[in-house]
Amino acid sequence: MATIITDLKENYRRGNLVLRLIYWNTGLFVLLNLLIIVARLFNGEVSGWVEWLELPATPARLLTRPWSVVTYMFVHLDLWHFLFNMLWLYWFGGLFLQFFSTKHLRGVYLLGGLLGALFFIGAYNLFPYFRPLADYSCLLGASAAVLAVACAVAYREPEYRVNLLLLGTIRLKYLALAVVLLDLLMVTGQNGGGHIAHLGGALAGLWFAASLSKGRDVTAGLNRLLDLLTIRQTPRRPKMKVYGTRGSRPADYDYNARRRAQNDEVDRILDKLKKSGYESLTEEEKRSLFDASKR
């Protein structure tokens, strides 16, 4: 058992953001379902506090659990719902990282979930069809976030072909169009709120990819906020007395500063390469990328 846990930790540490998102969704799925099983064995009920992780349909209830605009996109209770979302995240997340950066994936996943939440709450409070159900309805699942990732890839590479079981080879643009049309047709169905959230996620993915093609990253603000929230405090090192001329800096500081600047420049060039292709690079940028590959 200890070996399995060690292997999982190592895979998580070495894995990309797609794998880490799958880990987070899987861990919460397993934990919640185990708690539900234990509660049922003792004739208990856990749905009351599970709802605190789900997104409520009314602004009044949302004010009592504002964190749910994020937590809902990691919560699954139904096995097939969970498996379908994770398979799509695995497939399209991998494709996404071929054309965009890891930070873009992080931003698009959250942007899709947030816009899906906005569509869900808006529909349940604007349309008379949904209004009687608003006080009792909640949203959960990563579908809107995952669909944002898929639609961003479909916009960036519309002619990319994927093989689907029973359907054969299909271009991404047709697959994305079919999914969006199905959601539109099922808006007044049994899971209408979920399908409306899917449409919000799809719009987020298209918005991101279309804006990025014009040089504007709509996920930049989200990523800056996340960077601020995830800054790790490094342990304080004991002060060391440095002998030498007053005002001089240790050579290590200059070296580290140069390395950080070089790494930042390489990251910028790689982002430009993913966005616009190799031919868009200047001769100096190509030389910098070549030099970095030899380090």
Report d(CA 64, CA 42) in Å as an integer: 29
Would the pLDDT of 165 be above 80?
A: no
Per domain, the residue ranges of the chain are: 2-227, 236-294
Q: Which fold has domain 2-227?
A: Rhomboid-like fold (1.20.1540)
Tokens of 120: 């869900």
| Alpha helix ranges (H) inside the chain | 2-14, 17-41, 47-50, 59-64, 68-71, 79-99, 102-126, 143-156, 172-185, 192-213, 220-229, 251-276, 283-294
For tokens 């504002």, name the residue: 66
Instruction: Name the residue with higher pLDDT: 16 or 279.
Output: 16
Report d(CA 50, CA 189) in Å as an integer: 24
Would the pLDDT of 114 be above 90?
A: yes
Reported as a pLDDT band with limits 50, 70 and 90, residue 59 is very high
Three-class DSSP labels, 229-257: HCCCCCCCCCCCCCCCCCCCCCHHHHHHH
Would the pLDDT of 158 be above 80?
A: yes
For the ranges 1-10, 140-149, 241-250, 267-276, the maximum mean pLDDT occurs at: 140-149
Q: DSSP class of residue 74? A: G
Mean pLDDT value of segment 198-219: 95
Would the pLDDT of 27 be above 50?
A: yes
pTM here is 0.76
